[in-house]
């Protein structure tokens, strides 16, 4: 090649490189007279198969705004046309909760100040090119004050290859977190509407509605037309339910089709205004009301059946065995006294369930996110229950006797005494049953906690009746006791044998405590267990009375107060979590994994939930299930409710549950999850995965 040809080639190559560089040299930020718009990436590097979240960040000058997906009476939402590498796919914009903006007689929905719109981008599984990757976006937006000005910008961002870091003048992660915090929450099913002349009557029950005064409540549809954005919306509050009256727009909805929209609730708390948005799907009132009526009847039946099944849970069986021993001893005695004791036992159960339900409903009305078994999220309660279980076990082992106590209930049946012990046995049965969730219970209690108080209490009472029914029937029909051997030495041996499930329960509660608290508090609780055992032995040896009994009781109370005092002011949610972060659940992680094309199995569990632990052993932790998840690329996430976690509580509420366990299987993409049964087997899990 001669010198002229070589020089020509060099010049052509340089020109081509310059043109290529210019083609990808769009800025990351575009500024106009009214707005500064930036294209940002949550992650500095792109990886094959992942979901990459991109953001369009708007900074607006004062008093100017851009629009929500439904702009309201006027305006236009921002649009974006992506320029992506081959094989990349962009999803829909995720819209933060907007403000209502008054412009003269018109009402618009939009954003002032700053706002970040997030978009998920799915990357292919194939290896990415070993060179910087350029992502571009052509953005159009309408910025308005009273006058409106259309603006646009051509943006791009370069993601470096390897482990390099993209440069940006913005704190991208903080902006993404702030945007997600403004996303509306999915609202559980149950919202309904009715068309009344020129207005839309809406009834909805947002979760976690506090007793604080509400500043304002308003509703907007996702698309323009069904409601009048500038019309006056009236609302009133009835307990935890909101009733709205919204004027219809120029394109009224059909009376028999659901309406998708946004409910915004503004509440005053501590002098500040808290804004919460909810994604709402309104069902026609006729259809919804029939479903709700059927839901109450079905929930009552489920609660009754769940209460029956609760009797065979491992935490309850020892207490029922104790009570059955007393009934066996009285089988050949007076039927009237036996029936009376059966009714007294049932009364203890009904009263305890009533108090538990009332406390739960009052706390929820105060804004707490609580469910079935909420008391076991408190280390103090767990510790005191461990003390109680140890004391019951020592009593059954014969270390001490409290007269007409648990085993003495049999003698009490004979001589007309011991009703207080029978009543206490009913209370104890409910206390030890609280960590258990029987089949059918979860759906029933989840329904109850979204309904008015009288319906919720009715469901709880149906659960109590189902729980009390077996022992009540045994007392009403003593002939059934003839199937059990006559009283004899075997009863004493069975009584002592039943002590060991109580010891096992105490040990399990101590293990739960170890998941909730620090080493110092855990050590104090162990010392308290020793004190309980010593006090029981002293009582059994000397049977103190009068001032000696008072002294023993006061000493034990002081020791137990010292044992639980380190936990009284402890923030349970902030306690150290020894579980690895790799498998922990979060809504963001689920969104990222499903958007990346992976199915996700979420295990909502707690250390104190016996049903959860049984399911994990027989269905989730087995080698067969692990191989199944690995073969189908199923991500396994754990949502641990051992300690109080409002995010998990809200997720349970969204799926109509009041407590754990809850099992969700998310298919790839944006479809909703499938709810699996509360009792799992390997076959149930395998069938669900095969239907993905």
Report the share of the chain in percent with pLDDT over 70.
Answer: 76
Q: Return the residue matching tokens 């954005």.
A: 229
287 pLDDT more than 80: no
Q: Once rounded to an integer, what is the mean pLDDT over residues 10-19?
A: 38
The closest alpha carbon to 126, from 98, 87, 72, 184, belongs to: 87
Element (H, E) at 539: helix 519-542
3 state SS of 453 = helix
**Rounded distance, CA 145 to CA 148, Å?**
6
Q: What is the CATH number of domain 587-690?
A: 3.40.30.10
**Rounded distance, CA 581 to CA 349, Å?**
40
How buried is 289 (Cβ within 10 angstroms: 0-12 exposed, 13-18 middle, 19+ buried)? middle
Tokens of 338: 């036996």
State the fold for domain 186-290. Answer: Immunoglobulin-like (2.60.40)
How buried is 146 (Cβ within 10 angstroms: 0-12 exposed, 13-18 middle, 19+ buried)? exposed
- Sorting pLDDT into bands at 50, 70 and 90, what band is 264? very high
How buried is 201 (Cβ within 10 angstroms: 0-12 exposed, 13-18 middle, 19+ buried)? middle
Tokens of 529: 């267990």
How buried is 92 (Cβ within 10 angstroms: 0-12 exposed, 13-18 middle, 19+ buried)? exposed
281 pLDDT more than 80: yes
- Sorting pLDDT into bands at 50, 70 and 90, what band is 384? confident
Predicted TM-score of the model (pTM): 0.48
3 state SS of 51 = strand
Helical segments of 416-498, H only: 419-433, 441-448, 453-476, 489-497
Q: What is the SS3 assignment for 335-395? A: HHHHHHHHHHHHHHHHHHHHHHHHHHHHHHHCCCCCCCCHHHHCHHHHHHHHHHHHHHHHH
In angstroms, the Cα distances linking 26 to 55, 117, 213, 466, 615 are 16, 20, 49, 69, 54
Long-range Cβ contacts of 17-26 (<8 Å, 24+ apart): 24/134, 24/136, 24/156, 24/158, 25/156, 26/136, 26/154, 26/155, 26/156
State the fold for domain 22-182. Answer: Immunoglobulin-like (2.60.40)
Element (H, E) at 52: strand 51-60
CB-hemisphere CA count at 13 Å for 134? Answer: 14
**Rounded distance, CA 445 to CA 300, Å?**
9
Strand partners, 280: 261
Q: Does the N-terminal peptide bond of residue 376 adopt cis geometry, omega within 30 degrees of 0? A: no
Q: What residue segments make up the domains of the chain, in order of their start? A: 22-182, 186-290, 311-569, 587-690
Q: Once rounded to an integer, what is the mean pLDDT over residues 286-312?
A: 70
CB-hemisphere CA count at 13 Å for 380? Answer: 11
β-strands 214-221, 259-269 pairing: antiparallel
CATH topology agreement for domains 22-182 and 587-690? no
Top pLDDT among 366 and 615 is at 615
CB-hemisphere CA count at 13 Å for 531? Answer: 23
Kindly report the average pLDDT of the chain as a whole number. 79
Helix, strand, coil % in the chain, rounded to nearest 5 = 45, 25, 35
Q: Which residues contact 251 (CB under 8 A, 6 or more apart)?
A: 224, 225, 226
Q: List pLDDT tens digits, range 496-552.
A: 887 888 888 888 888 888 877 877 788 888 888 888 888 888 888 887 777 877 888
Q: List pLDDT tens digits, range 600-642.
A: 999 998 887 877 888 888 899 899 999 999 998 899 999 988 8
**Rounded distance, CA 445 to CA 433, Å?**
15
Q: Which of 219-223, 226-230, 237-241, 416-420 has the lowest mean pLDDT?
A: 416-420
- Is the separation of the CB atoms in 528 and 522 below 8 Å? no
**Rounded distance, CA 352 to CA 372, Å?**
14
The rounded Cα 586 to chain-centroid distance in angstroms is 10
Q: List pLDDT tens digits, range 99-146.
A: 999 888 889 999 999 999 999 998 888 777 667 789 999 999 999 998
């Amino acid at each position: 090649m001669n010198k002229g040809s070589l020089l020509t080639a060099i010049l052509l190559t340089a020109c081509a490189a310059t043109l290529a560089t210019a083609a990808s040299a769009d800025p990351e930020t575009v500024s106009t007279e009214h707005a500064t718009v930036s294209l940002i990436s949550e992650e500095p590097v792109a990886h094959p198969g992942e979901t990459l979240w991109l953001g369009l960040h708007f900074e607006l000058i004062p008093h100017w705004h851009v629009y929500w997906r439904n702009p309201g009476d006027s305006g236009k939402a921002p649009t974006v046309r992506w320029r992506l590498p081959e094989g990349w796919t962009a999803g829909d914009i995720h819209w933060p909760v907007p403000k209502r903006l008054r412009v003269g007689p018109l009402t618009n929905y939009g954003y002032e100040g700053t706002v970040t719109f997030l978009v998920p981008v799915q990357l292919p599984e194939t290896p990415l090119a070993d060179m910087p990757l350029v992502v571009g976006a052509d953005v159009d937006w309408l910025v308005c004050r009273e006058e409106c000005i259309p603006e646009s910008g051509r943006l791009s961002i370069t993601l470096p290859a390897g482990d390099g870091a993209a440069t940006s003048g913005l704190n991208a992660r903080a902006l993404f977190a702030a945007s997600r915090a403004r996303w509306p929450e999915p609202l559980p099913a149950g919202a309904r509407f009715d068309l009344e002349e020129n207005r839309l009557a809406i009834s909805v029950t947002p979760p976690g509605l506090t007793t604080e005064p509400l500043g304002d409540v308003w509703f907007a549809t996702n698309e323009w037309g069904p409601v009048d954005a500038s019309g006056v919306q009236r609302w009133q509050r009835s307990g935890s339910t909101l009733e709205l009256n919204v004027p219809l727009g120029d394109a009224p909805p059909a009376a028999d089709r659901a309406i998708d929209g946004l409910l915004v609730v503004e509440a005053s708390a501590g002098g500040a205004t808290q804004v919460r948005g909810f994604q709402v799907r309104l069902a026609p009132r006729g259809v919804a009301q029939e479903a709700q009526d059927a839901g109450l009847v079905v929930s009552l039946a489920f609660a009754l059946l769940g209460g029956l099944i609760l009797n065979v849970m491992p935490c309850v069986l020892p207490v029922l065995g104790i009570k059955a021993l007393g009934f066996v001893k009285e089988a050949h005695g007076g039927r009237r006294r036996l029936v009376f004791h059966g009714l007294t036992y049932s009364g203890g159960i009904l009263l305890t369930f009533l108090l538990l339900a009332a406390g739960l409903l009052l706390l929820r009305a105060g804004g707490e996110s609580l469910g079935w078994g909420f008391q076991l999220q408190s280390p103090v309660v767990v510790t005191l229950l461990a003390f109680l279980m140890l004391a019951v076990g020592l009593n059954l082992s014969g270390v001490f006797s409290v007269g007409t106590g648990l085993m003495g209930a049999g003698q009490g049946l004979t001589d007309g005494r011991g009703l207080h012990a029978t009543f206490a046995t009913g209370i104890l049965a409910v206390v030890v049953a609280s960590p258990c969730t029987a089949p059918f219970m979860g759906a029933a209690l989840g329904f109850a906690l979204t309904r008015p108080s009288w319906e919720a209490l009715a469901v709880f009472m149906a659960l109590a009746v189902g729980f009390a029914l077996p022992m009540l029937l045994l007392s009403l029909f003593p002939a059934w006791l003839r199937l059990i051997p006559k009283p004899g030495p075997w009863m004493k041996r069975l009584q002592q044998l039943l002590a060991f499930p109580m010891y096992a329960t105490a040990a399990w509660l101590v293990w739960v405590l170890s998941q909730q608290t620090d080493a110092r508090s855990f050590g104090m609780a162990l010392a308290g267990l020793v004190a309980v055992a010593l006090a029981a032995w002293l009582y059994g040896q000397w049977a103190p009375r009068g001032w000696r009994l008072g002294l023993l009781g006061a000493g034990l109370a002081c020791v137990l107060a010292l044992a639980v005092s380190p936990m009284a002011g402890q923030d349970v949610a902030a306690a150290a979590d020894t579980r690895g972060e790799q498998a922990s659940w979060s809504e963001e992680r689920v969104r990222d994994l499903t958007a990346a094309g992976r199915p996700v199995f979420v295990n909502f569990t707690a250390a104190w939930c016996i049903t959860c632990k049984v399911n994990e052993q027989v269905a989730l932790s087995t080698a067969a299930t692990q191989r199944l998840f690995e073969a189908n690329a199923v991500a396994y996430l754990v949502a641990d409710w051992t300690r109080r976690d409002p995010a998990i509580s809200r997720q349970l509420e969204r799926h109509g549950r009041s407590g754990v366990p809850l099992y969700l299987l998310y298919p790839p993409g944006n479809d909703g999850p499938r709810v699996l049964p509360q009792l799992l087997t390997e076959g149930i899990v395998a069938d669900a995965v095969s239907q993905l």
